[in-house]
Amino acid sequence: MVKNFNSPIVDTYAVYQFKYAHLVGIMRWATLHWGNRGGLIAGMITAVLPTEIYYAQDVGEYALLVCLLTYSLFFLDQANRKSLARYWFYGQF
């Protein structure tokens, strides 16, 4: 496959990796709040959520944006719980 670097099309493999990372982030955050069962339920709901499916079809920067927002939420929540400077730093992204 020849890659054209002038093309706005993003590699779909990378987009799926961001979607999986987003799903894992949601599950980790829910596990902290509601335990293993809550994390599993949150992951199953996120996997079939209509907005997730809609943005998964639109190959673009949305996958990266949603992934970064999820991990920002996770790290800011950790910063509030543990009051460690490294979580405040990670949560700013």
| pLDDT tens sequence across 59-81 | 566 777 888 888 888 888 887 78
Describe the crossing of helices 12-47 and 50-57 by its angle, rounded to 10 degrees. Answer: 170
Say how far apart CA 26 and CA 74 lie, in whole Å: 8
The residue range of the domain holding 47 is: 12-90
Say how far apart CA 30 and CA 41 lie, in whole Å: 9
Say how far apart CA 27 and CA 69 lie, in whole Å: 14
> What six digits make up the tokens of 41?
């339920």
Domain membership of residue 6 (yes or no) is no
Q: What percent of the chain has pLDDT over 70?
A: 66
Domain membership of residue 40 (yes or no) is yes
The reported pLDDT for the residue numbered 21 is 86
| Contact call for residues 22 and 73 (beta carbons, < 8 A) | no
pLDDT bucket at 40, cuts 50 / 70 / 90: very high
Q: Can you tell me the mean pLDDT for 32-55?
A: 86
Domain membership of residue 80 (yes or no) is yes
Domain membership of residue 3 (yes or no) is no
pLDDT bucket at 26, cuts 50 / 70 / 90: very high
How many domains does the chain fold into?
Answer: 1
